Amino acid sequence: MNKEIAKEFLWIDKNNKIISCEETNKVLNENLSEIISLLQNSFDDAILLGCDEDDFKKKNKKTIRRLGIFYWKRMRIFIFLKLFALINFNVISSQELECQGAVLRILNKTTNEKNFYSVPLSQTIELDNSTIVVHRCLKIDKKGKNDEVALLTHKLNGSSEIENVFFGWIFKSTQYLNSPSNPVYDIKLEECLVEDPIFLKNNGTI
């Protein structure tokens, strides 16, 4: 094994002090050894495939600099999933009526123009800058309180970033408790439709 890979390092904590725990240092050194080995193998493959050496190193340096960003993205995903699970549990634990479609109010925040779309489940509403798909729509009765909720996906066009994709429940009664973020449009659930509307329909502009 390469001596550099086998070499042990002492690790520094947030207070710039040496970590004294042997087990912690052992785990960190094993992880580092795996990273070095993986990088070396990837580098060898890249050179054999004709990749520029400096370009390969620059890309890996950029990846290392962005590690903190990746960590917080994972945390946001984790928090989102926990919230989604909690909301989903509360909805499912209530008395519910599965509906076949929804009416969404789409407000243009620049012109104040409102459009009302009747949309069947799983069909796509295409806006100028985004798309919307309603997956489920429920009329619920929880402890005598009636509400309507829709599970939908909202994605801004031309973006694959996780923060630009909304997947969750929106509520008729509390519009801004959990809603998609769109720079142009405000999206609200007007009602769940028991009957299947069959086709996507714009019910008119106000």
Report the C-alpha dihedral over residues 101, 103, 108, 112, rounded to 10 degrees. 180
Q: For residue 118, what are its two tokens?
A: 């009747």
Dist CA 149 CA 95 (whole Å): 12
Determine the pLDDT at residue 206: 60
Determine the pLDDT at residue 76: 63
Determine the pLDDT at residue 77: 63
The tens-digit pLDDT sequence of the chain (206 residues) is: 444 444 467 788 888 888 888 888 888 888 888 888 888 988 888 888 888 999 988 888 888 777 665 555 566 666 666 666 665 555 555 578 899 999 999 999 999 999 999 999 999 999 999 999 999 999 988 766 788 999 999 999 887 666 678 888 899 988 767 788 899 999 999 999 999 999 999 887 66
Report the C-alpha dihedral over residues 57, 62, 65, 71, rounded to 10 degrees. -120
Determine the pLDDT at residue 27: 82
